[in-house]
Amino acid sequence: MILHVDMDAFYASVEIRDNPELAGKPVVVGGTPEGRGVVAAASYAAREYGVHSAMSAAKAVRLCPHAVFLKPRISYYAEISQQIREIFFRYTPVVEPLSLDEAFLDVDGSERLFGPAIDIARAIKQEIADSLNLVASVGVAPNKFLAKLASDLDKPDGFVVVPPDAIQPFLDPLPVKRIWGVGRVTEKVFDRIGVKSVADLRGLDLDVLQRYFGDHGQHLWKLARGIDDRKVIPDREAKSVSHETTFSEDIRELSQLRARAAELTDQVARRLRRADRKGHTVTVKIRFFDFRTITRSISLPHSTNETATLWEAVREILTSRLPEDRPPVRLLGVGVTGFNETKTAQLQLFETEPASSELDRAADRIRERFGGQSLGRGSSLLHRKDDDHRPGQLPPE
């Protein structure tokens, strides 16, 4: 069985945990309303007013004027994320992080030690609550698609189990928009042809779906039947390390895309360093509002896991390799491939190790020893527009 563990309103929940006087108040983590920043996370009290991640801070304050706006502390959240991951590793080594606040866990090999998957999931959820005073929602299911779907159904503080013999009863009543890949445009097509639920979708023949959606139709056909053969792949075994995020509201501004890409790049770089991996191909994935998806890649001269070097490649792609008439974006991803499997690299004549590499390692060591608050890297990524500020560098005063 597969677990999907998703921390509820992670950034905002951490801030509320550390500042109990914020409990029950609408808390928004991200850019300031006076600037052009975006919302990185919103507490559930803020979400009641329609505030959500990727929304501009200016719109958020219009929806909820009394919200408490806080600057993000990315390095601190990363430290807590590592503490959560350490809890995962107590139960299984097969952990695939998706971002700072969610991960897949394969617990098939752990059941002899810890009992059934449901018991393991409850133990992990309880340990996160007891040791970190944070709330996670957990989905337990036979595959990744179903586990992730289950974790999202009963938030916050959710716990949903999908037994192998109850996949279709679980899926069929759900609205069709719950299927991965069904965005606004796809949902409009389904609405036109009378498809409202997953059961309705499952009633369509494959050739009908392919006629409407091309190759994407087979993807929809499989998911409507709960079919997902992807494995949980730990970082050390992965052929790539990537993070992606789907926005609740399509993003138009390039400055907002850069802000979110900077955060994703920082997360990818940290995962590479934790797994002792280096790659030489940087890829940016963009899915537009109409579900058209493009990828753009840059091959670096040498393999690296340096945050600043990876960000230069990502920024180059965003600046010069996207369509000029770029439509609104619903999904953004950053990934690194082309790993040096020998974990050694040919040295160039007179080459010295870049200072940024030592800076990354020093920053990682400082966080491990003194905690995330000891270093301010990335703390303003989501609310600064300054193109000269790169992850891996402290922001200018």
Q: Which residues are catalytic?
A: 102
| DSSP symbols for 155-215 | -SS-EEE--GGGHHHHHTTSBGGGSTT--HHHHHHHHHTT--BHHHHHTS-HHHHHHHHTT
Residue type, 307: T
* Non-local CB neighbours of 120 within 8 Å, separated by 6+ positions: 3, 91, 92, 107, 110, 111, 114
**What is the strand order of the sheet 240-251 is part of?**
240-251, 329-339, 279-288, 293-304
Only one residue has tokens 């502390």, namely 73
DSSP reduced 3-state for 274: helix
Residue among 335, 365, 338 at smallest CA distance from 267: 335
Indicate the helix (H) or strand (E) that contains 217: helix 216-223
Report d(CA 173, CA 192) in Å as an integer. Answer: 19
